[in-house]
Each structure stands twice: as C-alpha cells, then as structure tokens.
Amino acid sequence: MIDKNKYILFIKQEDVREFIIKNVSKLEGVLDNFDIRRTDFMNPYEQRLFISVLNAFSNEISYQAVGGNENSERKMFLIYPDYIYEVELPVKLLRLYGNFKFEKISHRDCLGALMSVGITREKIGDIYVHKDFIDVVIDEAIGNYMISNITSIRHCSIKGKILPIEELTETEIELVKKDYSVSSLRLDNIIAEAFNLSRASAISVIKSERVKVNYEPVFSQSKEIEENSLISVKGYGRFVFISSNGLSKKGKIRISLAHYK
C-alpha cells in the first residue's frame, strides 16, 4: 500500500491534498491489480504534483498525460504496468451545436451548463468556444450521458455529438497587451494595477483564496512575481506578466501584462 500522506505533506490546500490522494489511489490500483487506470482531468499545477508521485514508481509503471492535444491545459493520466506498450486513449470530443449568433456564449457559460447536469469539473478537459459550435474534451465514460442530458446553454438550445478527439478544433487565444507602472513586483501591486483595484482590495482578493499563479493557489500578497507567470483572479480574469521594462522617471517599475479577452 502506498503511504499517500508522504506525497502531500508540502501541499497547503486541503482540497488539493484530497484530490491528489484520490488519484494516487488509481496508481495504487495499477500496482495491486496490474490493470489500466485513468485519473481525473488535472490543471497544470495538479499535473506537476501528480507526476512527482508517478515518477517515484517509474520502475513499475508507465503513464501518459492525455488531453485534447499536446497543448492542452487540462489533462488526465493514463497509468498502466510497464510491460504494456499500447493503450487506447480514454478521451473523446463532445461537440455542441447551437444558434450562437444572437447570444454570445462564454467559456464560463458552457462550463456552468455542463456542471448543471451533475458532471464534476474533474471529468471535463479544455473547452473551445467557436462561433457556430463548442468543442469540449471529456472523459469517454460520460459521453452518452452528456448527449442525453445537456440541452441548452443559457437561452440557446443545443445538440451534441461525440467525435474522435482528433477532430478537435482549437480556438486562437486573444490577448490584449497593456503597460503599467508599479512600486514593486509584489503580487498585490500587480493585481491592483491589472484590475484597477486599491491595494487593500487586492490584498483582500488574495486572502480570500481567489488567486492562482501558474495554476497554484497563492495566499501571500508579498510574493514576488516572475516574468511569464500566468495570474488568474476569480471574478476578474487572468493575465500573463510579460516583462519588466526598467524604471520610470518617478522610480516605478514599468511592466507589460497580456490580458485574456
């Protein structure tokens, strides 16, 4: 039996610890039963944590990180004994068709509709919203259920079809670059400038556990942010800290951020 606590001692967030333990149990099943198991979908931070566990058993198992494609943010792990060389990928493409011309559908709208029929976030991979359809990467186990149960997103009636994952159509990420001046590269300063908040409000947002840096929950307002970091703030949006560009005449640090549209 795997000593699961050994691998989560450094994780501060209780929900993340529970999630990793749940998926380590899948690894345990492979070691005990010599079969093929798959995990839930994970964000990149959770993937990093889980890979550190998988690598501790690299002499006994093999694994693949599986998503829509190699660029996907959210991926699940397929775990199997090291003597197995070919495995069938357990992900499918759910394509949703609807008349989206008169009502703009967002990523959040789609995710909300999917979860409203009883599906948890862990069974859903990346979501790609297009003008005429939406592509959703899913665990193949929920495909038929989704087709039968999801009938609308906001006020739009929809129909779904299950397709091979190879037919996934990605969307182009739209970023808006903006320049700011900050007194330091602390997280609270950057968030305050990015969303036009007071510093006190930025600190409050951080303390309320709504901020992630590179998908990892962060609770310290004094954390120094490095270039190319992805910062997401629940309820506000997300952006990439592109670069610091020297000092202004007033001695402030010039920075460039790229906001997701």
The average pLDDT across 2-7 equals: 79
Fold observed for domain 91-167: Alpha-Beta Plaits (3.30.70)
Q: In what order do the strands lie in the sheet with 61-66?
A: 37-38, 76-81, 61-66
Q: Are 18 and 24 in contact (CB under 8 A)?
A: no
Q: Select from 95, 97, 116 the least CA-distant residue to 157.
A: 97
Q: What percent of the chain has pLDDT over 90?
A: 85
Q: Is the predicted pLDDT of residue 1 greater than 80, yes or no? A: no
Token pair of 125, please?
């991979």
Q: In what order do the strands lie in the sheet with 175-182?
A: 175-182, 253-260, 237-247, 229-233, 211-213, 216-217
Q: Considering the chain, tell me which residue range(s) the CATH 3.30.1370.160 domain(s) occupy.
A: 4-81
d(CA 158, CA 168): 18
The average pLDDT across 119-140 equals: 96
Residues 6+ apart with CB under 8 A from 26: 37, 38, 39, 77, 79
Mean pLDDT of the chain: 94
Q: What is the pLDDT of residue 164?
A: 97
Fold observed for domain 4-81: Ribosomal Protein S8; Chain: A, domain 1 (3.30.1370)
The average pLDDT across 37-57 equals: 95
Q: Considering the chain, tell me which residue range(s) the CATH 3.30.70.330 domain(s) occupy.
A: 91-167
pTM: 0.89
Looking at domain 175-260, its CATH architecture is Roll (3.10)
Token pair of 181, please?
């001046």
Token pair of 166, please?
């190879």
* Secondary structure of residue 144 in the 3-state scheme: helix
Q: Considering the chain, tell me which residue range(s) the CATH 3.10.290.10 domain(s) occupy.
A: 175-260
